[in-house]
Structure 1
Amino acid sequence: MTVDLHLFTEPQQGATYGDLLAVARAAEDLGFSGFFRSDHYLAMGGDGGAGPTDAWTTLAGLARETSTIRLGTLVTSATFRLPGPLAIQVAGVDQMSGGRVELGLGAGWFEAEHTAYGIPFPPLGERFDRLEEQLAVITGLWTTEAGKTFSHKGTHYPVVDSPALAKPVQAGGVPIIIGGGGKRRTPALAVRYAAEFNAPFVSATDAGRLFERVRGVAREAGREPGSLRCSAAQVVCVGSDDATLRRRAGAIGRDLDELRDNGLAGSPDEVVEKLAAFEAVGAERVYLQVLDLSDLDHLSDVADGVLRQLT
């Protein structure tokens, strides 16, 4: 099996930078190929612990304190930042990491975090319009040749004669990830702008349907479908015995039987079998959502029992 495994965290649920650093270093030491985090400002249940951390601020720190793993967001909301400053931020983190950054970008959906922190939350159609313009601006800035300027005649984000700096280290710019279950605009945006399409928190069967849809859109647009990597995201809960599994499921407020049905939960062999189902429908990468960041032994169990079977 050749599925690429990244760890994926949800720091808004209660995690400091120190917590994230410990998990990122453990991920790198254990052989995972990436450490990604959500980009949210409000907990979804619970009190949020010490409070949110900013995604790109923490990734900048991690860029200097890791050396091999990929780093990125799954996903940054287009409502949070203007596209010009975001392009500069991400390019800067890419430079700081030596070219290990990826940008997941979406339209935004969690209205409560917007009202909690004074962030405008337009209607869905406008959010997608803004996302599309942000993608045009960000990729345009990154791909503009040195010494030339970039302009964009947009409704929401007009750009005039930008020097299009700073540049990412990675040739062609930072890889962009777009995902979701949208039937029309999401796959079209992924085909036009993304290096990767992500199917988050759906079954392998449903992920396969989403992958086939986006591949069909690619063919219609004249893009080689194989040039768009397909990925999935699933919560992970691994243990060698039932007691360990139930303890770890309980620590994240989930029922083990429900997790077995709707996530990657079970013994290492069970999880490897579930991953094989995602690979069979075309997933080349799977993001393992780790919700209890204090349980570093869990990461070791995933690495020893699952990751080692894939390499």
Structure 2
Amino acid sequence: MSGAAARVSDATDNWVDRHAPLWSRPYLRLSRLDRPIGSWLLLLPCWWSAALAAGIAQDVRRLPLILALFLVGAFAMRGAGCTWNDITDRDLDAQVERTRSRPIPAGQVSVAQAAGFLVLQALIGLAVLLQFNRFAILCGIASLVIVAVYPFMKRITYWPQIVLGLAFSWGALMGFAVSFGRLDATALTLYAGSIAWVIGYDTIYAHQDAEDDALIGIKSTALLFGANTHRALMAFYGLAVLLIGGALLLAGAGWPAWIGLAAFAAHLCWQIARLETGDPALCLRLFKSNRDAGLLLFAGLLGDALLRAAG
């Protein structure tokens, strides 16, 4: 199969298509390195919690190293999770227009080859995890249970986005686990806020496949909310802002963090106002824009950590 014919339909003209060796392209697509937005969305709660924990400790000396390790770990484990998802969903993916060109249903790699690649990525994630304290290692390993069951949730519930939120928000706990060797109310509140954010943005994402999902029996909050999606997003995004604000209060965060939260909230409001659920291309753009929303919040948390450490 040629490089052009092997492209995934919603990820064309990226660095993988243009520059990666032909033999590597199916594996890079399995790990979604042609579409790194998911890795960013997994990483951002990690960075939020690391910055907020550094602000509480008033010590940023280890923060650059922690942020770098989280970056590597998030990309490795996002890749592993996507590979696992593609292995379990290979028959369903073959029935959906947007996903039938993924490497396994398209015949570019076998299930055994994908499984071997999954192990390799998981070992990279483990190598990162072993750089942390014992509590953080155990906390990171615990997340694998949620990652393992997530692909099956869309078959049994209209709320698979909750399970995705539990998995993708786990980093909101990891910064505290790494920095303090424990979890507290601040970490749990930040985690809850991130879960609400994930439910919101993944509902937008799921609207791309709503028609195909309904035909083949896959469930999602996009199908559940339907015409009420805008109201649902107001509820979940509003809850995300309130809970993250609660975490800032518990952490005694200063004005840079609150400015970051305000910018984050404004971005979420813009998404709701802009959304047209019947426009798949727009849904994808708005979903991807959550990286920018998360970075705005992170910038505020980082500024607060630096200010408190300097004081």
TM value normalised by structure 1: 0.31
- Which one has the bigger strand percentage? 1
Structure-2-length-normalised TM-score: 0.31
Task: Specify which structure has the bigger relative contact order, considering alpha-carbon pairs within 8 angstroms and separated by 6 or more residues.
Answer: 2
Specify which structure has the higher proportion of helix: 2
